[in-house]
Each structure stands twice: as structure tokens, then as C-alpha cells.
């Protein structure tokens, strides 16, 4: 039984939406907390720990610089480890010369400038894990004011495990590309993850992802 392309894109949307559902929970709790100090965010941990695992290798809230009285730059960010959730503790002061002015990263900058759902990457995540990852994020607002983002890291290798069965079901070589044309997951060596594909594809709902299927070696969608 061969999957139809739109069934495949629906399946991809379901996989990704599951992560966004977790982020909406994080957002709802953060909005209720109305955080003013870094300690206020400790109350987020229950929901973060619950959602960590499966596709989600790291999850948390990233405060807008200056939001918290005691910490101008702050992440309440937790990652998986064999011994349970581990807090990412980083010296986030950009003046210490590191990578940590997070306002430049797409997963922060896009929601900060109004995007409702952002899928960033795949990219080598220099802030948290040095792994090849996707970062999904949504804005958090209190009384209409942007106060930071709820975000989750999905390692590309785990995403691949989740979506490859869907792509294989299509019966011909296929791959997913992000909005920039970067291949995210693929069933063909001709277009490997991380490479650039300059052509169109079938959109996955309103996510910044598109499916490209090669029939007789040619894309079935415009190019």
C-alpha cells in the first residue's frame, strides 16, 4: 500500500504538532507565572520534565533580555540525560565573549518579531548541545507584551527516526526540506540531510517544511 503525498504531509504535521503542543503547555504555565525573577521559573519544571523525552531532547523558556530583575539573560532550560533531566547552566553574559547573545538566533528572533510558530534548523546547535538539531519555538506574551519564547530541541537523528517510515511509505525516493531549502530528512543519497535543495515541494500544512518526492528521478512538484 503506497501512501499518498498529502497523507504523508499530514503525518509529518502530526509529528511536529506534538512538539508544538508541548510548547503551548510551557507557554500557558509561563504566562500564568508572570515571571519577574529567575526563581519564579522553577515552577515550570514539572511541565518541562513531563514533556522531556521522545523527540524532545531539551525544552524550556528563554526570557527576553531584561525581563527578570536578577538575571538579564536567562534560560530555564532542561535537557535529557541518562540520569534524568539536567539543567543547562550557562554564563549567558554576551560580554564574556561567547555565543550567548541568543537574540540573534532564529528560534528567538522570529517569535520575538511576531512569528507564531518557528522551526529553526537543521543546524549545529552551538548554544546547548553542539548537536545537529531542529529548534521549535513559539512566543510567550504577558498582557500582550512579548516576554520570551518557549522552545524545544529535536535532534535531527530522532526526527529522522520518526519521519522516515512516513517517507518510505511513499514508494519513491523522498525528502523533507525546510523553508530555506535545507534537507531535514531523506530516503535518497542524492539529497542528504544538511544539503541544499533548490526547488519546490508539497507544503506540510502551514509548517515551514515541504515534501519533495522523486518519481523516475524527477521531483513531482514544481522546481
Mark the segment that binds other proteins (CB under 8 A) among 30-38, 58-66, 93-101, 201-209: 93-101
SS3 121: strand
Consecutive H or E run containing 57: strand 56-63
Which string of x and - marks every residue 35-74 that binds other proteins (by CB under 8 A)?
Answer: ----------------------------------------
Dump the DSSP string for 125-171.
-TTTTSSEEEEEEEEEEETTEEEEEEEEEEEHHHHHHHHHHHHHTTS
Q: Does residue 223 touch other proteins according to CB under 8 A?
A: no
Q: Does residue 180 touch other proteins according to CB under 8 A?
A: yes
* Contacting residue, 97, 114, 144, 217, with other proteins by CB under 8 A: 97
Which string of x and - marks every residue 105-124 that binds other proteins (by CB under 8 A)?
Answer: -x---------------xxx
User: Based on CB atoms, which residue is closest to other proteins, 44 or 151?
Assistant: 151
Q: What is the DSSP letter of 37?
A: S
Cis peptide before 122, with omega less than 30 degrees from 0? Answer: yes
Residue ranges in 131-160 that form contacts with other proteins under rule CB under 8 A: 131-132
Smallest gap, in angstroms, from Cβ of residue 179 to other proteins?
10
User: Based on CB atoms, which residue is closest to other proteins, 14 or 180?
Assistant: 180
Q: In 3D, which of 205, 152, 203 has the Cα closest to residue 176? A: 203
Distance CA 145, CA 160 (A): 36
- CA quadruple 179, 158, 14, 79: dihedral positive or negative? negative
Q: Does residue 98 touch other proteins according to CB under 8 A?
A: yes
Smallest gap, in angstroms, from Cβ of residue 194 to other proteins?
3
101 contacts: CB under 8 Å, gap ≥ 6: 94
Chain residues that interact with other proteins, rule: CB under 8 A: 97-99, 104, 106, 122-124, 126, 130-132, 180-182, 193-196
Amino acid at each position: 500500500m503506497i501512501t499518498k503525498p498529502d497523507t504523508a504531509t499530514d503525518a509529518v504535521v502530526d509529528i511536529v504538532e506534538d512538539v508544538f503542543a508541548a510548547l503551548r503547555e510551557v507557554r500557558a504555565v509561563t504566562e500564568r507565572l508572570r515571571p519577574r525573577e529567575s526563581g519564579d521559573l522553577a515552577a515550570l519544571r514539572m511541565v518541562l520534565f513531563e514533556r522531556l523525552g521522545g523527540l524532545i531532547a531539551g525544552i524550556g523558556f528563554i526570557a527576553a533580555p531584561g525581563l527578570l530583575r536578577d538575571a538579564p539573560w536567562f534560560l530555564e532550560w532542561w535537557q535529557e540525560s541518562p540520569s534524568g533531566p539536567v539543567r543547562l547552566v550557562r554564563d549567558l553574559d554576551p560580554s564574556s565573549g561567547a555565543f550567548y547573545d541568543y537574540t540573534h538566533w532564529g528560534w528567538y528572533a522570529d517569535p520575538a518579531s511576531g512569528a507564531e510558530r518557528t522551526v529553526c534548523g537543521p543546524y549545529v546547535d552551538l548554544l546547548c548541545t553542539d548537536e545537529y538539531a531542529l529548534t521549535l519555538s513559539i512566543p510567550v506574551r504577558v498582557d500582550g507584551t512579548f516576554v520570551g519564547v518557549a522552545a524545544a530541541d529535536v535532534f535531527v537523528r530522532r526526527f529522522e527516526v520518526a519521519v522516515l517510515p512516513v517517507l518510505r511509505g511513499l514508494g519513491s525516493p523522498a525528502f523533507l526540506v525546510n523553508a530555506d531549502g535545507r534537507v531535514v530528512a531523506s530516503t535518497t543519497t542524492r539529497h542528504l540531510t544538511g544539503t541544499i535543495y533548490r526547488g519546490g515541494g508539497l507544503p506540510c500544512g502551514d509548517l515551514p517544511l515541504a515534501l519533495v518526492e522523486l518519481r523516475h528521478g524527477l521531483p513531482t512538484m514544481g522546481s
